[in-house]
Amino acid sequence: MATARLSTHRVVIVGAGPAGIRCAETLLAAGLKPILIDENRRDGGQIYRRQPEGFTRDYVTLYGTEAAKAKDLHQSFDRLRGQIDYRPDTLVWNLTPGQLCCVSQGKHSMVDYDELILCTGATDRLMPIEGWQLAGTYSLGGAQIALKSQAVSIGHRVVFMGSGPLLYLVASQYVKAGATVAAVLDTSPLSKRIGALPKLLARPGLLFTGMKLLAQLYRAKIPLHLGIKPLQVLGDAASGVSGVRISTAKGETLTIDCDAIALGYHLRPETQLADLAGCRMRFDEASSQWWLAVDEAGRTSVNGVYAAGDGSKIRGADAAEHAGRLVAMALLEDLQQPVNIGLRDEQRHALAVMDEFRLGLAQAFPWPAAQAKALPDSAIVCRCEMISAGELRRTVSEKGACEVNRAKAFSRVGMGRCQGRYCSQAGAEVIAAAAGVSVQQVGRQRGQAPVKPLSMLTEEVSP
């Protein structure tokens, strides 16, 4: 393809996080000016989310151990921002072949593309607990956004509960910011971490960083409990959260007073746009969830549609940067453009190492599928529609709905504002347990437009 034709080629990247920024940077260096669309007002994605204009907290205060990486990514974006077509505060809510449906500040627009690169990132993966619908219950990501974007804590006494590296990262960020952390409660026992050490040693530096986060919490004298079983969020509808009740690893019941709880179990990829594009999905046994099926360079099953970062495979921010570069080179190769073979192989090798580490994390901090089976019938699974575990089980026993989309049609689970982002995976586990089948057999909730709630401005028409 001639250089002149390449310069007019319309490549659209969705998402200005680590993957999207490195992808745009690589394409720009090759002479291709991409359109970069991002839902957020500023670049950085979730992990490196920028603070609002006018806020002056330094990088170490804001990002802790990730400060240097955040600063490098932000500086990289600042250098390329004026050379690309950057469209922040813009939601891609639907797509058809060759065209995106977008909305920004209530105004709708259509964006044509020749190639599409989805760097849509991930959201929290949540497991319900009885009482989690009470005000004051947040996801780990929500707690992190409040700290980064508004410089506020989600409560006066905060409990962090779940499992995975993000649990410790956000808790340590709250401690560093001066917030009161009442406890950190991890459903994973220490034995799981010890068993996963051979895989985790694939990235000794990152393992050491995790140990430092743990040491910071111990130095701050934060109560830390491993191998716990969540029982109930305490409180009432009028006042919200007042505490949490758990069963410790020793089988003792423990109640912790708090006015806010942050929950999370790793992440789940944002695959809705890929689903609408018709891309094939695959079930990942290690994490027990559905991911986007891509080759090692980021090509999906649909020609002209690519994906990189946590939106296709959960491997973290470092891997997202490598994947962003690699997917850009894959697109360039498909356009018959030269690429740096050495750099390409370097990205592939780095991602292979990170994939080994990912498997270690899945082993060390497993998804607590058994909690879904143990949920009492009264526990709310879908907070948007207030669908209980008992209602979901009755769709199986009374209506034979053993597939997640059929159960959705009968019960409305996943039909609320979050479109199943925070309940569909846990709901699938409830269905699987009630039907006595694997969660893979239950399937996945299909993406539908609009992928998120949106507003539209209407013009008054003169009579």
Structure tokens at 149: 């974007």
Residue 299's DSSP bridge partners are: 306
Look at residue 6 in the predicted model and tell me its pLDDT.
66
Q: List where CATH 1.10.10.1100 sits in the chain.
A: 370-442
Candidate from 62-71, 148-157, 268-277, 279-288 with smallest mean pLDDT: 62-71
Q: In the predicted model, is pLDDT for residue 4 greater than 50?
A: no
What's the predicted TM-score (pTM) here? 0.93
Pick the CATH number of 3-123+268-361 from 3.60.20.10, 3.50.50.60, 3.50.30.30, 3.30.420.10: 3.50.50.60
3-state secondary structure of 62: helix
Q: List where CATH 3.50.50.60 sits in the chain.
A: 3-123+268-361, 126-265
Contact assessment for residue 434 and residue 77, using Cβ atoms and an 8 Å cutoff? no
Q: What would the mean pLDDT of 456-460 be, rounded to a whole number?
A: 61
Candidate from 25-39, 60-74, 92-106, 251-265 with smallest mean pLDDT: 60-74
- pLDDT band at 378; cut points 50, 70, 90: very high
Looking at every residue in the chain, the average pLDDT score rounds to 93
339-343 long-range CB contacts below 8 Å, 24 or more apart? 339/30
pLDDT in tens, 327-338: 999 999 999 999
CATH assignment, 370-442: 1.10.10.1100
Of the chain, the percentage scoring pLDDT greater than 90 comes to 84
Q: In the predicted model, is pLDDT for residue 5 greater than 80?
A: no
Structure tokens at 89: 């505060």
Q: In the predicted model, is pLDDT for residue 433 greater than 90?
A: yes
Q: In the predicted model, is pLDDT for residue 55 greater than 70?
A: yes
Query: 258 — phi, psi (to 5°)?
Result: -165, 165
Considering the segment(s) 126-265 as one domain, its CATH architecture is: 3-Layer(bba) Sandwich (3.50)
Q: Which of 86, 129, 20, 113 is nearest to 374 (CA)?
A: 129
Q: How many CB atoms lie within 10 A of CB 359?
A: 16
Residue 240's DSSP bridge partners are: 236
| Rounded (to 5) percent helix, strand, coil in the chain | 40, 20, 40
> CA 347: distance to chain centroid?
22
217/185 Cα distance (integer angstroms): 12
Look at residue 61 in the predicted model and tell me its pLDDT.
75
Contacts of 19 (CB under 8 A, 6+ apart): 45, 119, 121, 308, 309, 310, 311, 320, 321, 323, 324, 327
Look at residue 460 in the predicted model and tell me its pLDDT.
53
Look at residue 198 in the predicted model and tell me its pLDDT.
95
Look at residue 458 in the predicted model and tell me its pLDDT.
61
